[in-house]
A and B are shown apart, each in its own frame.
Chain A
């Protein structure tokens, strides 16, 4: 089945220790998104890629970086995690940005910062 896969599902890191979250997709979608979601809050868009074109949200901290080496894979790097970065990180894809192209989400990676 075509899908969005995120690894790991649960990640524990220490304050200030870099961590990388990964996402892969078998849908061959052009657009990939990274969201941060905290409990009972709306998903917050961090970045998105339209093909190789990187789009950073204005309020995404510099501590967050992203890479998309090819169509299938996208990575979220958190250079120096703080306690406030503990959250669920959701990767999503869509065929195109506009129109009735719904976003397909991976299962998420729950990040704990000790």
Chain B
């Protein structure tokens, strides 16, 4: 079966750095996406990785290791507005997105 694993919940402090991990087992691989979803709202796109390595975009970075079936999302200089769920999704060989259940990130002052 296809599976995406992420921690259910994480807590971090405003101004700090947090790393949200994602491991996956899918039928093929055509890229990995990270989305942010605030409570009661729709997901919004954060990043896409298809090659190994780190992609940096402002305060957010995403890393991929295809051989390990592993990715992480790194959030720096945390702000209260970063409190949200972060969903990892992998595009499989049929170009279907397999979604994780998301990691709820709680930011404390």
Contacts and interface: CB of A to CB of B under 8 A. Distances in A.
A107 B45 contact: no
B24 interface: no
B3 to A, nearest CB: 11
B29 interface: no
A45 B97 contact: yes
| Chain A interface mostly | loop
Interface of B: 4, 8, 30-31, 33, 40-45, 48, 50, 87, 91, 95-97, 99-102, 104
Interface of A: 40-45, 88, 90, 92, 97-100, 102-108, 110
16 contacts: A40-B104, A42-B99, A43-B43, A44-B99, A45-B96, A90-B43, A98-B95, A99-B30, A99-B31, A100-B31, A102-B48, A103-B33, A103-B97, A106-B42, A107-B41, A108-B42
